[in-house]
């Protein structure tokens, strides 16, 4: 083999190595962008699930208020809030939960409004993958002409949402 043929072979090997390196770099870049897209889609899904859990907490409060005249329990005269939480589990695996805080300091004439804050969490409560916080205001409307404020949830009272606000972001 002549020296010219050996030089051409050497150049071809170098060109092939450069093309192969370029293809590997492009492939790795595409893989990392796919991984970023996958993470973003997972975060969006978890956030949507946390929002659904928070909405379930708001509806749970409204149903409890309409069904139980003694809800929320008021242990002391100076107490102005009550909180509780519920957990959603599949067997022994905790899927999510919501934490509810009810503030009745505005439940006086002429307002009769309960401020409700709900935090929906996806995953274990100690280290959730996503959280969404909703703030809602419920107003009770009585079919009676006067409302007895000494009786929590008097008969003939319906609860309507005045406002709802999402305090979280994706």
pLDDT at 153: 52
118 near 50, Cβ under 8 Å? no
pLDDT at 152: 53
Q: Which residues neighbour 121 within 8 Å (Cβ) at sequence distance 6 or greater?
A: 50, 53, 96, 97, 98, 99, 128, 130, 131
Handedness of CA 151, 152, 158, 164 (dihedral sign): positive
- The CA-CA-CA angle for residues 114, 115, 116, to 5°, reads 110
38 near 44, Cβ under 8 Å? no
Judged by average pLDDT, the poorest of 68-72, 90-94, 127-131, 146-150 is: 146-150
Q: What percent of the chain has pLDDT over 70?
A: 88
pLDDT at 155: 57
For the full predicted model, state whether its pTM sits above 0.75.
no
Mean of all residue pLDDT scores within the chain: 84
Q: Among 101, 88, 82, 94, which residue's Cα sits nearest to residue 53?
A: 88
pLDDT at 35: 84
Q: Where are the domains of the chain?
A: 36-166
pLDDT at 83: 93
pLDDT at 10: 81
**Cα–Cα distance measured from residue 147 to residue 153, given in angstroms and rounded to the nearest whole number:** 9
When pLDDT is averaged across residues 65-79 and rounded to a whole number, the result is 82
**Cα–Cα distance measured from residue 170 to residue 164, given in angstroms and rounded to the nearest whole number:** 17
Q: Give the model confidence (pLDDT) of 97-155 as tens digits.
A: 999 999 988 888 888 899 999 999 998 888 899 999 999 999 887 655 444 545 555 55
pLDDT at 147: 46
The count of other CB atoms within 10 Å of the CB of residue 81 is 14
């Amino acid at each position: 083999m002549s020296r010219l043929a050996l030089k051409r072979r050497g150049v071809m090997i170098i060109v092939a190595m450069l093309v192969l390196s370029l293809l590997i770099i492009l492939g790795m870049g595409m893989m990392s962008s796919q991984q970023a897209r996958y993470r973003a889609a997972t975060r969006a899904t978890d956030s949507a699930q946390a929002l659904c859990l928070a909405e379930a907490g708001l509806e749970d409060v409204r149903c409890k208020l309409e069904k139980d005249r003694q809800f929320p329990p008021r242990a002391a005269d100076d107490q102005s809030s009550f909180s509780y939480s519920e957990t959603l589990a599949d067997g022994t695996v905790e899927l999510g939960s919501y934490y509810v805080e009810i503030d009745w300091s505005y439940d006086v004439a002429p307002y009769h409004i309960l401020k409700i804050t709900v935090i929906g969490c996806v995953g274990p409560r100690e280290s959730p993958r996503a959280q969404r916080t909703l703030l809602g205001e419920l107003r009770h409307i009585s079919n009676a002409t006067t409302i007895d404020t000494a009786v929590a949830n008097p008969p003939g009272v319906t609860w309507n949402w005045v406002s709802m606000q999402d305090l979280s972001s994706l």
